[in-house]
Structure 1
Amino acid sequence: MKILVAGAGALGGYFGGRLLQAGQDVTFLARPSRAAQLAASGLVIHSPWGDAHLASAPTVLAHQFKAPADLVIVACKAYDLEGTIAAFAPAVGPETTILPLQNGLRHIDRLTERFGFRKVLGGLGAISAALDESGAVLHLGREHTLAFGELDGVHSPRVDAIAAAFASARFDSQPSDRIMQALWEKWVHVATLAGATSLMRASVGDIVRAGAQGVALELLNECSRIAAHNGFAPSPEALGRTRAAVTAPGSSLTASLLTDIERGAPTEGDHILGDLLRRGRWSTADTVLLPLAYAQLRSYEARRTRDTANAEPAQRLAA
């Protein structure tokens, strides 16, 4: 199976690297700077499940494709989706399957609109990972699950083929006939964590220490009601896992969205929080904290845009 991984950051680097380590035919669609880094240092993974140093990590730049891929794993940030689609579109042939790993659902709407419903699977990567200063992938926990399945829940030969290709890789591969339920449950979890930690500008443990864990629990209620409105009420088990995660005393857990805010970077707030709000029939009477968290993120993005615009004339004068 010819696999193109669109995005060579922590998410794509980990799962794509594990597939490459297992002998699969993997190529990374990367920006020029990342491609140069991989050419010089190889793809390095540090993980509790075993380190890897892949001296040869094949890369391709946008529009350099010579043949269609069998599988495109979309592992970019949500705010980079449009540019990534434009970059990998030439690699999508009549038999290509697209497997996106972003949180939420707006990316699936966009991919099915661009390539057709039958081209796209549902997928999620459950992993905590980051790139260090050298470009190595740091796997920060023990979970490393890649789940995937048909959007309509049908058991298909192509899902079986992907499962076979993933079977020898050093991560947990989970083909699923209920991938939409899994996507909604993860979305509720991520939105609750992102909303609480970014709104409070604190880790879960600090929020609990302040006696403010009720904020996270109310966000969980609001997000769950929206999922139920769309026909995907989270299971009691999923709710229990999220409830435990956002009320754990001493936990250093935060959302990557808060990390992005703290380093002045773009965020996936619109994809995670804004789109969730748009899919619910909400009012200020029964949904209060989610709109507030989203408004806070929009305000951050507005300030970031203003600061960037103000900095550019000064940079030109200095040059």
Structure 2
Amino acid sequence: MKILVVGAGATGGYFGARLAQADKDVTFLVRPRRAAALRERGLRLTGQGQDETITPRLVTAGELSGPYDLVLLSVKATALDQALDDIAPAVGPGTAIVPLLNGLAHLRQLNARFGEEAVLGGVARIITTLNGEGDIVRLAPVASLTIGEQKGGPSPRVAAIAAELGDAGIDTQQPADILSAMWSKWVLISTLAGLTCLMRGTTGDVAAVPGGRDFVAALLAESAGVAAAAGHPVPKGELDAVAAMLTKAGSPLTASLYRDVTLGAPTEVEHVFGDLVARARLLSVATPLLDLATLSLRVHEHRTAAG
């Protein structure tokens, strides 16, 4: 397959690197500044016992020509509008687009621009970040992709994509219902981001103080309640696993959204929280803690924009 990875950040950079290491036909679409840094230093992976460098094949938006067989879209929601324009030359009649964004709002935009048949659902489960030099740092060993047709059920193209990714050593799942898998990830991300942003600390910090574990349970219940009301209940076993992860003693875990806040950078508040609480209102689900997280992050956005 001819593969285009849109973005070479903490998520796209990691999975794209795995594809490149397996000698797949993979190209990274990046901004000029990121392209210059990658050409100078290479794409570097570190953490969890890894110290690897690859020389990636790069294009910028003005250099892109297509079509590609597979587009892995791994930008932040704040960059989605521009990314849709950038990838347009790469999308042909047979192109499959797999977005790896949080939430579900991006599906509406992608469907409207390229047609629902071109767009798969996707979930990335990975805990990585970029350090000050732009290297990808793995913070935990988990790294997997989940893909599927929006309408559900198996399909030959999903199986082919999963085989291509699996051949590169990427753990790839093909659930019968990708939308439920995306909701499950949304519940996790909204709980983790709400927890760390509101409390201004790691999950271990919150679990260590009186009332911390109860706060985790209450926030998780709100997020899960919205998913259930939307017709995508998260299985109890998954919720128990999330609760255990977010209350683990001494855990250094934080959300990428929280790390954006600490850096004074824009966040994905509307994609992760704004859309979630809007759906909650339509479904008559009360979400006071999620509402508070949304308000807090909107104030951050206002201050960031004003500064």
Q: Do both proteins adopt the same fold according to a TM-score greater than 0.5, normalized to the shorter chain?
A: yes
The TM-score by the shorter chain falls in which range?
A: over 0.9
Task: Tell me which residue corresponds to 1:130.
Answer: 129
Q: C-alpha separation between the residues in 2 aligned to 1:51 and 1:157?
A: 36
SS at match of 1:130: strand
Q: In structure 1, what is the Cα distance between the partners aligned to 2:63 and 2:219? A: 45
1:98–1:284: structure 2 CA closer, same or farther, 3 Å change rule? closer
Deviations 1:233-255 (A, max 9, x none): 11011110111122222222111
Query: Normalising by structure 1, what TM-score?
Result: 0.91
C-alpha RMSD of matched pairs (Å): 1.7
Give the secondary-structure state (helix, strand or coil) at the position aligned to 1:140. Answer: strand
Deviation, structure 1 residue 284:
9.8
Residue matched to 2:229: 229
Q: For residue 281 of structure 2, what is the aligned residue in structure 1?
A: 281
Equivalent position SS for 1:142: strand
**Aligned 8 A contact 2:27 2:59 in 1:** yes
Aligned to 1:215, what secondary structure does the other structure show?
Answer: helix
Aligned length: 306
* 1:311 corresponds to: none
**Map of 1:2-13 to 2, 5 A cutoff?**
2-13=2-13
Q: Does 1:43 align with 2:53?
A: no
> What letter is aligned with 2:190?
A
Distance in 2 of aligned mates of 1:288 and 1:66: 47
CA distance 1:212–1:26, change in 2 (3 Å): same
Equivalent position of 2:209 in the other structure: 210
Residue of structure 1 in register with 2:99 after alignment: 100
Aligned position for 2:165 = 166
Alignment partner, residue 310 of structure 1? none
SS at 2:71's partner residue?
A: strand
Residue 21 of structure 1 is matched in structure 2 by 21
Q: Distance in 2 between matches of 1:218 and 1:282?
A: 21
2:151 match: secondary structure: coil
Query: Does structure 1 residue 80 correspond to structure 2 residue 75?
Result: no
Could you say which residue in structure 2 is the equivalent of 1:118? 117
Matched residues, percent identical?
44
Runs of 4+ residues deviating >6 angstroms: 282-285
Q: Is the 8 A contact 1:72 1:97 kept in 2?
A: yes
CA deviations on 1:186-233 (whole Å, 9 max, x unpaired) are: 100110111111111121122122213222211111111110111001
Assess if the C-alpha contact under 8 Å between 2:229 and 2:285 holds in 1: no
Partner Cα separation in structure 2 for residue 277 and residue 30 of structure 1? 32
For the residues of structure 2 that align with 1:66 and 1:124, how far apart are their CA atoms?
26
Cα contact 2:229–2:283 (8 A) shared by 1: no
Shift of 1:174: 1.6
Give the distance between the partners of 1:287 and 1:135, measured in 2 at CA: 37
Unaligned runs of 5+ in 2: none
Structure 1 residue 150 and structure 2 residue 164: aligned?
Answer: no
Cα deviation, residue 183, structure 1: 0.7
Q: Which consecutive residues of structure 1, in runs of 5 or more, have no partner in the other structure?
A: 308-319
In structure 2, how many angstroms separate the alpha carbons of the residues matched to 1:186 and 1:243? 13
Amino acid at match of 2:91: V
Q: Structure 1 pair 266/4, CA: closer, same or farther in 2 (3 Å)?
A: same
Would the alpha carbon gap of residues 261 and 15 (structure 1) be closer, same or farther in structure 2, given more than 3 Å must change? same
* Alpha-carbon separation, structure 1, partners of 2:180 and 2:172: 17
Q: Which has the larger radius of gyration?
A: 1
TM-superposed deviation, 1:47: 4.7
